[in-house]
Every structure is written in structure tokens, then in C-alpha cells.
């Protein structure tokens, strides 16, 4: 198996883009008919199809990219050092996020449900003490993704050598280098696992009883971990970019149609869940293929955004919920309100990133690396020169 370079620059672009989609997606959740933490008075089911475009594949794509990043880190560290770095990079902001970042969201959700009296300070004392009388208690909200990535990474790290040897087996090399294998393998695997578990296990985001979610997220993380060093895999992905894009269009049509079929028998539910997973992989493969074709280059802007995009992810959802509560009384209209909310959220996340990056070691709380931006640029430039040299 021919090795890839030590950094795949296009994955930085894809990571930033995938996380970036979360802001308009979660702003859109305020206006859709889907259940969410908060709702706008302008909510309309017409928003739903737009959210459905990325809903099946957005997070699986991020799990794939997270698995690839974990593999690169594990290749240059011991298992113990890898665990220390992941706990510092993911575990610290996860704990801080649950205790502090998610608290305003839970407070506003509780107030909207008339479950508590006004007063954020009184609520926080009960929230941090895990008061069982709280209807909405201590929760990781959107940070479930961080917890899952951390657990998956810690589980995969000790098996790195086994996974590397497995990917060098001739049959596996041929599978990774086969366009049919790459086009069908991940789709069929995740579809079968999801269909086998979804009927018995609803999506809960609680880690220990979330088997249908694990049936999709874990395989994509492991695929990124195992395949990121395979040049055959990436060559196949790039060649498949147009076929997978064309396949994704009718598959989205099936997903859209199925979303309105509320009375489904067992066979139809199986078929629509299967199609959802196939659509997810078609979209992911197309994104990866076009990313490798068009964006496999470094740049100062993408390096700066990639450094801060995890911070954006941590704070974006509370910012949306708080900003929506503040903007709602202004009655800006069905067009004006989402535009103002989107711009406010993006500007607020950017400001938080800029400020947090100047907090010294405390920047870890919001998912920023201790390494300075200048040192990181120098290291990446040296890495680029080494690859070209």
C-alpha cells in the first residue's frame, strides 16, 4: 500500500466546511418543524428539505475526518502520549462545555418550558449540583460529538498496529484500491448495521445506549483511521467524485420522499433507512473526492480557520439559542430574523475565537491548542517543504 503524505491538506478544508455548515444548519433548526432546543415564531416546514440535504451525512463526514486526524497523531506518538493529548484537547473542553458552555442553553430551554423560575445564578447552583428536581439537568447537548470522538480515539489507539497490518493484507489493499469496493463497501456496511439496530435503539446521544448511532459513527471513524494512509483509497475516491455526486441526487429524492411517509410498514422502514445510509456515503465520497481534487493545498486562511473551528463548534449552539432569545422580541420578520441571527452567530463565534486565543493555557477550555498560531504556521510550512523536498 503506497503511503500518503504526512498531511492531507484538503481534509483541513473539508473539516472547516463541515463544521461551518453547522451554524446555518442549527439556525435552520429554529425555523424547521423538527424538534429542537428552541423555536422561532417564524418556523415553517418548508425549511425541512434544506436541512435534510446534509442531515444524513454531515456528522458521519466529521467522524471520518476525526478518525483520519487521530491516525496521523497516533502514528507519531505512543498510546500513552496519544491518550494524554486527546484528553487534553477533547476532554478538557468537554468538561468545561458541559459545566459552563451548555448551561445557558439548558437555562433557556427550562424557561421556555416554564420548568424553572427566572434567575440564571439560582439555576446554575442547581445545575452544577445536579439537582434531580430540574427537568433539564446537566447535559452535554451538542458536545455529544466530542465525547464520542474521544471515546472512539481512545479505543482505536491501542489497536493501531493491528489496523496497519490489516490494511496491508493484499485483499484489503485491493479493496481500498477498487472503485467498486470503495463505492459500495462503506455504504453497505453502515446500512446493514444501522438497519439492524435502529428499530430497537432510538438515537439518544447518551453514549452507552446509543447503538444505532454507533452503528454509523464508529465505522466512519474507523474508516478514516484505517484508510487515510492508503493512496489507493484516495485515488478511488477522487475518481468516484462525479458518479457519487450523481448518485446522491436521486438518493436524496428518496430520503425526501421517505421523510413525509409517517405510516411505514417494517419493510418500507428498512428500505428508507438503507437508502439513507447509501445517500450518506455517496455525499461523503463526493465531498472527499472533490476536496482532494480541488483543495489539496495549504493556505494561511485555512490554517487559521482550521485552528479555530473546534472553538466555533463548542460555542456555536449556545450562541444561537441565546441570540435567538434576544432577537425574537424585535420581530424582524421571516427573512430579516434568520439573516440577523446567522450574522450575529458567526460574528460572535469569531469574536470568541479571537479572544480565547489570547487567554494563554485557558484557551484549552474552548478547544484551542496551546501551540501559538505563529508556531503552528512555521511547523506546517516546514512540513510542507519536507513533503516537497
Q: Residue 1 domain-assigned?
A: no
Name the pLDDT band for 71 (thresholds 50, 70, 90): very high
Question: Three-class SS of residue 3?
Answer: strand
270-304 confidence digits (pLDDT tens): 899 999 999 999 999 999 999 999 998 888 888 89
295-326 confidence digits (pLDDT tens): 988 888 888 999 999 999 999 999 999 999 99
Whether 1 shows a pLDDT value over 50: the answer reads no
Which residues touch 38 (CB under 8 Å, ≥6 apart)? 30, 108, 109, 112, 321, 324, 325
Q: Residue 118 domain-assigned?
A: no
* Mean pLDDT score of the chain: 90
Q: 85, 62, 61: which is closest to 73 by C-alpha?
A: 85
Name the pLDDT band for 226 (thresholds 50, 70, 90): very high
What per-residue confidence (pLDDT) applies to 129?
86
* Alpha-carbon dihedral sign for residues 369, 372, 374, 380: negative
User: Which residue segment(s) compose the domain that 27 sits in?
Assistant: 9-102+140-388
- CA distances 328 to 31, 44, 324, 340, 341, Å, are 12, 16, 6, 11, 10
Average pLDDT, integer, range 350-358: 94
Instruction: Give the global pTM.
Output: 0.92
Q: Residue 107 domain-assigned?
A: no
% of the chain at pLDDT higher than 70: 93
What per-residue confidence (pLDDT) applies to 5?
53
Three cell numbers written together for 276: 439513507
Q: Residue 3 domain-assigned?
A: no
Count of domains forming the chain: 1
List for the chain the helix, strand, coil content (%; round to 5). Answer: 75, 0, 20
Q: Residue 4 domain-assigned?
A: no
Q: Residue 121 domain-assigned?
A: no
What per-residue confidence (pLDDT) applies to 131?
79
98-152 confidence digits (pLDDT tens): 999 999 999 998 888 888 888 888 888 888 988 777 877 788 999 999 999 999 9
Which residues touch 102 (CB under 8 Å, ≥6 apart)? 139, 140, 141, 142, 143, 318
Q: Residue 122 domain-assigned?
A: no
Q: Residue 247 domain-assigned?
A: yes
Name the pLDDT band for 389 (thresholds 50, 70, 90): very low
Instruction: Tell me which of 127 and 241 has the higher pLDDT.
Output: 241
Name the pLDDT band for 381 (thresholds 50, 70, 90): low
Amino acid at each position: 500500500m503506497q503511503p500518503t503524505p504526512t498531511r492531507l491538506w484538503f481534509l483541513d478544508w473539508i473539516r472547516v466546511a463541515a463544521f461551518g455548515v453547522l451554524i446555518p444548519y442549527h439556525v435552520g433548526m429554529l425555523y424547521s418543524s423538527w424538534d429542537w432546543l428552541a423555536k422561532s415564531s417564524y418556523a415553517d416546514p418548508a425549511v425541512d428539505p434544506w436541512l435534510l440535504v446534509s442531515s444524513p451525512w454531515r456528522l458521519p463526514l466529521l467522524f471520518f475526518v476525526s478518525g483520519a486526524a487521530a491516525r496521523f497523531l497516533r502514528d507519531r506518538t505512543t498510546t500513552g502520549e496519544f491518550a494524554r493529548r486527546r484528553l487534553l484537547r477533547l476532554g478538557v473542553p468537554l468538561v468545561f462545555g458541559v459545566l459552563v458552555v451548555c448551561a445557558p442553553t439548558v437555562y433557556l430551554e427550562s424557561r421556555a418550558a416554564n420548568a424553572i423560575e427566572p434567575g440564571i445564578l439560582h439555576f446554575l447552583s442547581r445545575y452544577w449540583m445536579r439537582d434531580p428536581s430540574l427537568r433539564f439537568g446537566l447535559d452535554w447537548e451538542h458536545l455529544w460529538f466530542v465525547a464520542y470522538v474521544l471515546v472512539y480515539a481512545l479505543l482505536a489507539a491501542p489497536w493501531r498496529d493491528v489496523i496497519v497490518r490489516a490494511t496491508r493484507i493484499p485483499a484489503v489493499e485491493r479493496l481500498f484500491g477498487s472503485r467498486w469496493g470503495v463505492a459500495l463497501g462503506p455504504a453497505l456496511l453502515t446500512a446493514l448495521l444501522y438497519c439492524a439496530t435502529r428499530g430497537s435503539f432510538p438515537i439518544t446521544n447518551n453514549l452507552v445506549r446509543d447503538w444505532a448511532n454507533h452503528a454509523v459513527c464508529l465505522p466512519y471513524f474507523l474508516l478514516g483511521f484505517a484508510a487515510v494512509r492508503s493512496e489507493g483509497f484516495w485515488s478511488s475516491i477522487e475518481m468516484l467524485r462525479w458518479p457519487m455526486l450523481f448518485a446522491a441526487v436521486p438518493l436524496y429524492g428518496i430520503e425526501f420522499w421517505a421523510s413525509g411517509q409517517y405510516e411505514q410498514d417494517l419493510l418500507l422502514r428498512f428500505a428508507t433507512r438503507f437508502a439513507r445510509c447509501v445517500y450518506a456515503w455517496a455525499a461523503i465520497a463526493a465531498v472527499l473526492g472533490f476536496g482532494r481534487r480541488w483543495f489539496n493545498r495549504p493556505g494561511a486562511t485555512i490554517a487559521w480557520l482550521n485552528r479555530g473551528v473546534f472553538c466555533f463548534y463548542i460555542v456555536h449552539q449556545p450562541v444561537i439559542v441565546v441570540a435567538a432569545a434576544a432577537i425574537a422580541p424585535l420581530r424582524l420578520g421571516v427573512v430579516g430574523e434568520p439573516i440577523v441571527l446567522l450574522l450575529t452567530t458567526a460574528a460572535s463565534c469569531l469574536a470568541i475565537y479571537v479572544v480565547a486565543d489570547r487567554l494563554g493555557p485557558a484557551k484549552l477550555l474552548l478547544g484551542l491548542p496551546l501551540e501559538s498560531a505563529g508556531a503552528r504556521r512555521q511547523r506546517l510550512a516546514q512540513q510542507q517543504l519536507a513533503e516537497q523536498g
